[in-house]
Structures are given as structure tokens and as C-alpha cells.
Amino acid sequence: LSDFIRSLEGTENLRVAEEKFLEFLQSDATPAGKQFICRNLSIMGTEASAEVLAQMLVDPKTSDMARYALERIPGESVNEVLRKALPRTKGVEKIGVISTLGLRADAKSVPLLTALVGDLDTDIAAAAVAALGQIGTPDARSALAKARDATTGDLQMLVLDAYLNCADRLIDDGENEEALKIYRELYTGDIPQQIRSAALRGTVYSMPEKAGEIILEVIKIGHAEMQEVAFGLVGEVADERRIKAIADQLGELSATGQVQLITALANRGSAVAKDAVVAAVKSENADVRVAALKALAVLGDASTVELLACAAGSAVGAERLAARESLYSIRGPNVDKKILELIGAAEDAAKVELIRSISRRNIKGATATLLETATDSSTRVQLESYKALKAVAGPEDLAKLVELLCGVENRTVRSEAERTVAAIAAGVEDTCQKTGAVVAAFDAAGDATVKASLLMVLGRIGEDNSFLTVYMGLKDGDAKVKEAAIKALGEWPNSRPADALLEVAQNASEARQRILALRGYVKLASLDAKTHPDKTVARFRKAMALAAGVNEQRLVLAGIGSVSEAAALNLAVEYIQDASLALEAQAATVRIAAAVVQDNPRAAKAALAKVLAVSKNEMIRSRAQTIIDQIK
């Protein structure tokens, strides 16, 4: 039948078919049959079908199918029969007719619908409100405006929503000024917040050219919740002059409002707001100060560097962190230059922060400035200078850094300077140049503290071409130099110094030197475990023999436990029943077994079984049993 109807399009026979369909609808046909006909009438029906379909609106069995057709048939007579049918329907059927009138945007039905807004049946009233919102004519808008004050609760919310819908329709029709009247009426009225917020957003999104003006208006009204919504819309403002005017309102806001607006201005990233935000840094409220300092990461420029450095140097907690992060983050062609310019005359606290920012900003041209501040009278400035030099200095600065290190007096600064020299030396490709300046300075040094410091640097560099220099430090008559040599050899990247440290551990007269040597020896002993496992175990046996007390023996056992080789298992097992060493030995055995179980399951299982036989520590026992259970 559908194909037949399509074949009639454009012919007089289509109207004949419509007449036959209407006769069918007035017959005793089944509901399914009538529904099929109504569906087709919705496509090809004319105003001639209106009266017959209108008669079906009253009957609950046919009301929906009739409305389906009527909604889609064009013509004023259709609207007329719907209006006439409205008083004759009730309940669900009436609601359906109301909805259809709304969908058809029938302006002449506004009086009927307006009367129904006050209906005792709340569903009918709600449908009438929705229909008025869909129609959206001046009369419909007027009816909704009156209903706004005459209704309460859920129905009032529907009225407000429908009224808002009218404004949206006006925007679609290009009637922006009329829409603005409704939006303003809603967002300034004493109505639920969600509608006010929606109206304000609708205004700004629909009329971006007025966004700045409207947001400024809302801010000045002083309603906190609406101000928050307005702040969230600041990003929609294109006019920089409006942004400045909005930013200038900061001082008139509550602390919460200031934080919200500052954050919004930062998110937008408009430089014209900088001065207002800078002023907020001096606020009496800590939250406002923090927000302003954070915002300067985006809004700041070279002119705010000093402010941020001073704040970072004098503030505490969140304020200090905010100032620092902004100092590290601000962008601009002259920011790095300004940082370097300010360092010379800055107070110590601010100077420290400026220097710290150099490494965080990776200012490569800062080396000369830092080499100068490394000799500042303030130890804090010296310390921060060496930290920054580690990040920005290059191999060409190594000799100067070694020279500066030799003149450092403060112990903490000296340790940092040692790390810096070693770090820069690591970037030198030529091994002789890597250690040459340090060795030369050591040979020329007469002060024991300087010699000790240079030995520590050579230990960190760890090049074999300087091994002899460090080794000879073991023979130095000054205990400070000798201890530094022991520590340096203990940091060596390979096991070459192991025998030298063993000799010190065996023969040193001072307990401190012997313990340092033993600790270094234990560390180096494990470096050859992969290539020479038997030699490694032999070294640990020597270390256990040298250990003078329980603490030293525990130190050695900890080293044994770090060896992931089966050869170390038996040595660890030897001590699992020793009253003073059992816990450490058992833990070492389990660690080694876990590392070698894949390659040596039998050895691992045997060692773990011995641990389970004697251990009373539940954690060790549980770990040992878990490993055994994994062995197939």
C-alpha cells in the first residue's frame, strides 16, 4: 500500500486515496488498521483530513494515532480543529492535544493554554507551560512571565525553563535584544539558582559581543553564586578593555570571589589583568595572595620577576610554593635577562630564589653570574649557586669550578661544590681532561681540607687514571685526607680498589678508618659477582673474618644478600643459626634464593629448607615458603 501511495504522488488520484482513507477511519476497522492509515495520512494527508482525525482525538484508543497524523499535516484548519478538540478531551488525551499545539507552535492557542496553566491537574498544567515555551510568541512569553509569579515549586521551575526556552528561540530567530530582556530578567531575578545560571550562560554564549558588559554587570550586582557563574564565563570575553574593567573589580569582591576571578583571569591569560593581580599579591587574605601568585605564572612578565622572587624568599608554605612555581614558569623575551640583572643587588633571600630559578628555567647564559655568586658572603647563596651550576655549567667551566672548590670554607657548601665539580667532569669526554684539573689542584694543595675535598671529587668521577692519586691519599699523614681517600675508593665504579681497602681494614689503627674501609670493601666486593662469583664469595669471607663486632658482621651480611649468585647462598646459610646474626643471615639467604631460583632451583630450595628449619620469624618463613612453592 505504501508503494501504491508513493506512485500516486502529484496526481489527482492521491486526493481520492485520502478520501478512501478517511472512510476507512470512520468504519469499524481494527485499531491496527487505523493506525496504519494514520501513519500514511501523516505523509500525504491534507487539511481535508482534519475534521475526521479531530473526532478521533477524544477516544483514548485512537487519540495518539490521530495526533500523530495531525502533527505533520500543514494548514491552519488543523490548528483550528485541535483548538476545538481541546475542551472536549481530558486526562492523557488533553495532554496530548496540548503537546501537539505546542509542537505546531500555534499562536492562536495561547489563550487556551494560558488558562490551563492554572489547571488542578498538574500534568495538564505542566504540558500547557511547555507548549507556551515552544510557541514563544510575545503573548506566550507574556503568559509565562505572569505565570512565573503565580506558580510555585516544580511547576514554577517548568515555567522558568519554558520562559528560558523562549529566549533561546528568539536567539535562533535573530531577535537578540528581545532575548536579552528575558535573559536579564531571569539572571537578575529572585528565582532558583540553576535557572539564573542557565540564563546568564545563555546570554553570554548567544551574544558574545555583549559578554564583557553582562559579566561586569553581574559582578557589580554582588550576588556570590551568580558572580561565580560569571567568573566561569570570563574566557568568553573577547574585548580586552572589558577584561581590564572586570579585573579592576577585584578589590570590590569578597576573598572567595577574588580567588575565583583571579583564577578565571589566569585561565584566560590576558595580560591586561596583570596590574590588578599584582595588587592582589598584597591582600590581607592568604588564599587571595596564593591565587594571585599562581596567576602570575601566566599573567606575569619581566616586570613581575622581582615581586615573585621577594615573595618566594619571604613567604612560607603555599605562598612560597606558588611564588616559586610562577617564577619558574613565567614567559617573555626579557624574563631570563631580568633574573640575571636582579641577582647582584637582591637581598639574600630573594637572591637565593633567583638563583634557584636559573636551574629550573635552564638559563644557559647564567654561568658567569653563578661563578660570581658562588663566592658570595652568604653561605645560602653559595650553596644555591653550586646547585644551579650543576645544571647550567659546561666542561669549559671545569677548571674554574675546581679553583672555586679549593676556596670553599663551609662544609655543607663544600659538599655541594664537590658534587657539582664531579657532575660537570662527567660531561667531559676526554678522560685526562676529566680528572686533570682536579689532580693538578690536589698536587698543588697544602691544606688537608682542600686535599680531602678533591679526593672526594676523584672518587665520584671514578676514572682509573686518577686511581694512583687517590691511593696515595691512603698514605697521607693527615687523618682527614686518609679518610677522604678511603671514602673515595669506596665509591669507585669497579673493584680495582678492593685490595687497597682490604689492606686498610686489616691494618688501620683507628676504628673509624677501619670501618670505612670495610664498608667500602663490602660495596666493591659485589661488583664482580656476575663474572667472578667464587672470587666475590672469597672476598666476603675475608670481610667476615675482619668484622670486629656484630654491627660490622651485619654490614657484611647485608652485602652478601645483595649478591644475586648461587655461590653466595652457602656463605649466608653458615650464619643462619648464629644467635646474634640469625635474622640478617636468614633474610640474606631468602633474598639470594629469590634471585637465583630460576637458574638454580635445587640450591635455592635446599638453602630455604634450612632457613625454615631454624627461623622463627614469620615474615621470613612466609617468604621462604612462597619461593619453595613456586619451584616445580
- What is the Cα 94 distance to its own chain's centre? 54
What pLDDT, on a 0 to 100 scale, did the predictor assign at position 499? 93
Ordered DSSP codes for 373-389: HTT-S-HHHHHHHHHHH
What pLDDT, on a 0 to 100 scale, did the predictor assign at position 177? 87
What pLDDT, on a 0 to 100 scale, did the predictor assign at position 1? 58
Cell of 530: 656476575
What pLDDT, on a 0 to 100 scale, did the predictor assign at position 531? 87
Q: Please tell me the distance from the alpha carbon of residue 105 to that of residue 110, in angstroms, as a whole number.
A: 9
Give per-residue burial for 473-497: e unless 16+ CB within 10 Å, then b.
Answer: bbebeeeebbbbbbbbbbbbeebeb
Task: Decide: 306 and 323 in contact? Cβ < 8 Å.
Answer: no
What pLDDT, on a 0 to 100 scale, did the predictor assign at position 332? 87
Ordered DSSP codes for 501-529: HHHHHHH-SSHHHHHHHHHHHHHHHGGGT
Which residues have CB under 8 Å from 159's CB, separation 6+?
A: 117, 129, 144, 147, 148, 151
Q: Please tell me the distance from the alpha carbon of residue 615 to that of residue 620, in angstroms, as a whole number.
A: 7
Task: Decide: 394 and 424 in contact? Cβ < 8 Å.
Answer: yes
Q: Please tell me the distance from the alpha carbon of residue 431 to that of residue 246, in angstroms, as a whole number.
A: 62
Q: Please tell me the distance from the alpha carbon of residue 448 to that of residue 466, in angstroms, as a whole number.
A: 18
Segment-wise mean pLDDT, segments of 10 residues, the chain, 632 residues: 60 78 92 92 89 93 94 93 94 95 95 95 96 95 93 93 92 89 88 91 89 93 92 93 95 96 94 96 97 97 97 96 97 94 96 97 94 97 97 95 96 97 94 94 95 97 95 94 97 94 92 94 90 90 90 91 89 93 94 93 94 94 94 78
Residue labelled with grid coordinates 469499524: 28
CA atoms within 13 A on the CB side of 623: 18
CA atoms within 13 A on the CB side of 53: 34
Q: How far apart are the first and last CA of the chain?
A: 76
Domains in the chain: boundaries = 532-631
Q: Please tell me the distance from the alpha carbon of residue 25 to that of residue 19, in angstroms, as a whole number.
A: 10
CA atoms within 13 A on the CB side of 381: 20
Q: Please tell me the distance from the alpha carbon of residue 233 to that of residue 212, in angstroms, as a whole number.
A: 9
